[in-house]
Structure 1
Amino acid sequence: MSRIPEPEVHVRGQQTPGGVERPTLRASAAAFTSLMALAATGLVAGPAVGATAGPCALPRTAAHHSLGLDTWNGSYPQPTRTLDAVMIFLSFPDSTPLVGPADLTADHFPGTSDFFRRASYGRFTLRAHPQREWIAMPRPSTAYDIKRDWDAGRRTAYLHDAIDAANEKVDFARFDIVYLVADPDAPGVDSDATKVVNLDHPIEVDDTEIKRVVTVFERHPPDRNVLAHETGHVFDLPDLYHRPTDGKGDWDTHVGDWDVMGSQFGLAPDLFGWHKWKLGWLERKQVACVQKPGGRLLSLEPLSAPPVAGGTLGIRLAVVRTGPGTALAIEARGATGNDEDTCTEGVLIYRVRNEAASGDGPIEVVDAHPRTEACWDRSVFPPLADAPLGVGETFTVPGEGTRVEVADRTRAGVWTVKVTVPARRA
């Protein structure tokens, strides 16, 4: 089984076999398209982040990495500007490094920066500042007992030793993010221990407070997209995978391949549209809030597609509020950008809960084809690999009554979708 990222620490139609409907009669794509401009005008939500985020924006709660997005948690850096990250390479007296800092840097950059540039539509730059030399740790690697479920005392000793050792050569006040990269071949290093550590008591150094660090213990070469996943936590994004309580079972039952915060190995690892809304990469005019009962028409641009000429974006996310702390999100996923290796293309539906903490299922993909699977040779969770709806398919979300019909896909890749909200949502 693929290694799972370490969780961060605080300190009427005919039924197809899959369950979707292919209506015997449906409005033509042309009919949908002719009404699109009118429909989209009334479906726009409020600003991406802030007190006036609109009726479809769930409020932020006390849950760790809450997916409420009416306000931003100021203890985290918001990735709407250039952020500077220092990479510090740590060696140990019980091992001579077999690879150099330059090789380890290339394992993660520019790949991680490129991931976020594409995900943010060019609105965020992650600028790495790798150190060129090893920083010697005062104790052997085995002394820290590095492992997935790490003893808090030894983890704290590791962090303080690393910061103290690097302080002579690194001005921490210059950086927004700190990556501590351990010699991957040291005998006490365990790649399963890669994580973000949030510090209840920040480390004060260089007249600044370090509130969290990313501890990197990856092999060389590392797991795919692992640093993008961990950096997502630095921006207040939750783990979306499910960790079995008994250590058995599948980790990817909640979102499968569909977001890097679920699995860094996913075939379509771009961040969900809801995440992009929370981070400030989707603005008011790019989120359609479907409120009133009845059918609404909209054009969904593929989530991962770059902006068209001039840097403009159309609607990338549709949201139906289903309760005080819950919503349905609808977005189009296509083989472009971070999703270029996707197993299937189509319109994806997922549930969002603002009171679910990181790792407790804040997002769950709705499987529009529950009786079929796809891409057994590549997918991290084949049952969800074919979750999206294709052209001509209609699906009613169980327990919600919201109906999603995919009418057409234009040559430009835009999906024509009808979302029908039941009267009880009024």
Structure 2
Amino acid sequence: MQRLQTPGGVDRQRLRRVAAVLTSFTALAATSLVAGPAVAAEGAAGPCALPRTDVHHSLGLDTWDTAYPRPVGTLNAVMIFLSFPGTTPRTTPKELAADYFPATTDFYRRASYGKFTLHPHPLTTWTEMPRPATAYAVQRDWNAGRRSAYLHDALAAADPVVDFSKYDIVYLMADPDAPGVNSDATKVVNLDAPLHADGTDIRRVVTGFERHPPDRNVLAHETGHIFDMPDLYHRPTDGKGDWDTYVGDWDVMGSQFGLASDFFGWLKWKLGWLDRRQIACVQGTAPRMYTLEPLEEMPAGGTEVAGTRMIVVRTGLDSVLAIEARTATGDDRATCTEGVLIYRIQGGTASGDGPVQVIDAHPHSAACLGQSVYPELANAPLQVGETFTVPDGDTRVQVTDRTPSGAWTVQVTPVV
């Protein structure tokens, strides 16, 4: 529930408990499990950086799992278009490539502040599979044996014309009109035992089965998994119900249809697009004032990212609150609301289980009906003049002003 800012004393016993928890954090970080080889994440160390754990797509960011390519600089992606015997495609590889590029490259250029270029290399002809699509029983929760057969057949069919050693990312795009093709099977396949082609280990592949034209931002979402990003949606156990209760519109890893589809600042920090210079780590319990630059704002003239883009409050061994300003610019240009967004990060929570949860500063209300994927969270951000006390932690966030340049003045009081 929402609680208005009120004067009062601080619970000293709770302060001592939290201090003890944070003191023990250093020992925990040294023994955290990791999913693969790791390297220190440049600029990520510090009291607000959660440790990476062994859960799938952990949002810990003190290290980077080198089994995944990191999206800094240029990565090359080959896009292979698969046809099936007995079916004549109604589209061309050129038309299908245009469904995804340059839009996906532009999405990542904006999200990364120009630090990452996704360079596509689409084939210009169809690559024919040895069997009809129906033979692979393509579906969302795919039989592992049928899926493995599909991947092996696709790589073998493409190998005579593709040098896989030249590429960091592999997209396998099926003829969308072939019988047996199921758009729900569009996903990243992570392989415990890598496939091999041209002396290269292929550990993960995007399998595309989208209609023409495809869902908006679908390839940006799937490509995010290639970079160790988690699913941020909530998948109902019975396949029914609302998928967008965790983060609503506020990140492409939550919904490819979201109005504010940029990555959360925490994910940008993990990916290497933000560093400690843009992160304000709140320590102590005294009120602190911050000037938050809009998360989406690109640096001018190719300069480095400037200003504070995210405020972080450590709340436990594997949890933080993150605070950022979201505006109708960049990849968020379609958003129907602007303001200061608050969300929780749980470093020990796996992909799909809610590692990020947006905190609704306006519960019992909704916005952007008919546009938002989850109107209950569409008006989650705070506006100028509003104060919100975060439940189950008592951190107070007050938005006091918006500067002429568009930055937001925010006071944070971690009363924990």
The answer, yes or no, to whether TM exceeds 0.5 is: yes
For 1:101 and 1:297, how far apart are their aligned partners in 2?
53
1:82 counterpart residue number: 74
The alpha-carbon distance between structure 1 residues 163 and 379, as it changes in their structure 2 partners (threshold 3 A), is same
Deviation, structure 1 residue 370: 0.5
Aligned partners of 1:257 and 1:381 also within 8 Å:
yes
Partners of 2:355 and 2:121 in 1: CA distance: 33
**Equivalent of 2:240 in 233, 242, 248:** 248
- Does 2:398 align with 1:405? yes
CA distance in 2, matches of 1:384, 1:108: 28
Cα RMSD of the aligned pairs, angstroms, is: 1.5
Instruction: Please give the alpha-carbon distance, in whole angstroms, between the structure 1 residues aligned to 2:63 and 2:69.
Output: 13
| Residues 119-198 of structure 1 aligned to structure 2 (within 5 Å) | 119-198=111-190
Q: 1:383 corresponds to which residue?
A: 376
SS at the partner of 1:274? Answer: helix
Displacement of 1:22: 8.5
- In the TM superposition, 1:309-328 aligns within 5 A as 309=301, 311-312=303-304, 313-328=306-321
- What is the match of residue 5 of structure 1? none
Q: Which residue of 1 aligns with 2:363?
A: 370
- Secondary structure of 2:267's partner? helix
1: distance between equivalents of 2:391 and 2:348?
21
CA distance in 1, matches of 2:309, 2:288: 15
AA aligned opposite 1:265: F
Deviation for aligned residue 1:114? 0.3
Q: Which aligned segments of 4 or more residues in structure 1 are displaced greater than 2 angstroms?
A: 18-23, 48-52
Offset, 1:20: 6.5
* Corresponding residue SS for 2:45: coil
Counterpart of 2:413 (choices 396, 420, 425) is: 420
Structure of higher RCO (CA pairs closer than 8 Å, 6+ residues apart) = 1
Partner of 1:14: none
Structure 2 CA distance for aligned equivalents of residues 311 and 255 of structure 1 = 31
Give the Cα separation in 2 of the matches to 1:19 and 1:63: 32
Gaps of 5+ in 1: 1-17, 24-47
CA distance in 1, matches of 2:208, 2:310: 33
1:231 paired residue among 212, 218, 223? 223
Q: Deviations over 1:276-329 (max 9, x none)?
A: 000000012101100111111111111111113452321111100100000000
CA distance in 2, matches of 1:217, 1:52: 37
Match of 1:332 in 2: 325
Paired residues of 1:372 and 1:383 also in contact (CA < 8 A): yes
Change (3 A) 1:84 1:358: same
1:77-117 Cα deviation digits (max 9, x unpaired): 00111000000000000311000000000000000000000
SS in 2 for 1:318: strand
TM-score, with structure 2 as normaliser: 0.90
Q: How many residue pairs end up in the alignment?
A: 383
8 Å contact 1:49–1:277 — kept in the other structure? no
Match of residue 106, structure 2, among 87, 101, 114: 114
CA distance in 2 between counterparts of 1:400 and 1:61 reads: 23
1:8 aligned residue: none
Query: Do the aligned residues in 2 keep the contact of 1:20 with 1:369 (CA within 8 Å)?
Result: no
In 1, the alpha carbon distance for the partners of 2:392 and 2:261 equals 27
Question: Which residue, 282, 290, 299 being the options, matches 1:298?
Answer: 290
The alpha-carbon deviation at position 52 of structure 1 amounts to 5.9
- Secondary structure of 1:165's counterpart equals helix
Whether the aligned pair in 2 keeps the contact of 1:269 and 1:339 (CA below 8 Å) is yes
Query: Residue type of the partner of 1:124?
Result: F
Matched letter for residue 49 of structure 2: A
Q: Which runs of 5+ in 2 are unaligned?
A: 7-39
* 1:272 Cα offset (Å): 0.2
Q: Give how far 1:343 is off.
A: 1.4
TM-score (norm 1): 0.88
Q: Measured at CA, do residues 411 and 79 of structure 1 come closer, stay the same or move farther in structure 2, by a change above 3 Å?
A: same
Percentage of identical aligned residues: 66
Alignment partner of 1:346 is 2:339: yes
